[in-house]
Amino acid sequence: MTSTLTILEPCPGVYVYYDGRVAGVRLHSQRPNWLDDGAYQLGVASYAIVDGEQALVYDTHISLDHAQAIRRHLESLGVTSIRVVLSHWHKDHVAGNAVFADCEIIALRLTAEKLSENREKIETATPPIRPLVMPNRLFEQTLTFAIGKRQVELHHFAIHSADGNVIWLPEERLLLAGDTLEDTVTYVSEADQTATHVAELTRLRQWPIARILPAHGDRDRIAAGGYGPELIDANRRYIERLTSAIAADAPIGTLKDFIADELATGAILYFEPYETVHQSNIERVRAALGTR
Q: Which CATH number fits domain 6-289: 3.60.15.10, 3.40.190.10, 1.20.1250.20, 3.40.50.150?
A: 3.60.15.10
DSSP structural state of residue 1: -
pLDDT band for 270, please (50, 70, 90 cuts).
very high
**Nearest-angstrom CA–CA distance, 233 and 231:** 5
DSSP structural state of residue 191: G
Q: Which residues contact 8 (CB under 8 A, 6 or more apart)?
A: 15, 16, 18, 219, 222, 223
Which among 258, 259, 257, 255 is positioned nearest to 267, based on CA atoms?
259
pLDDT score recorded for residue 147: 98
Residue 1, pLDDT above cutoff 60: yes
User: Tens of pLDDT along 117-145?
Assistant: 999 999 999 999 999 999 999 999 999 99
Q: Mean of the pLDDT values across residues 75-80?
A: 98
Residue type at position 148: G
pLDDT band for 290, please (50, 70, 90 cuts).
confident
C-alpha distance from residue 171 to each of 48, 144, 150, 228 (Å): 17, 13, 8, 16
Residue 153, pLDDT above cutoff 60: yes
Find out whether 79 and 53 touch, Cβ atoms under 8 Å.
yes
Find out whether 267 and 234 touch, Cβ atoms under 8 Å.
yes
User: Tens of pLDDT along 9-53?
Assistant: 999 999 999 999 999 999 999 999 999 999 999 999 999 999 999
Which among 263, 194, 257, 267 is positioned nearest to 226, based on CA atoms?
267
pLDDT band for 292, please (50, 70, 90 cuts).
low
Q: Mean of the pLDDT values across residues 247-270?
A: 97
Domain boundaries of the chain, sorted by first residue: 6-289
Find out whether 201 and 232 touch, Cβ atoms under 8 Å.
yes
pLDDT band for 245, please (50, 70, 90 cuts).
very high
User: Tens of pLDDT along 210-224?
Assistant: 999 999 999 999 999
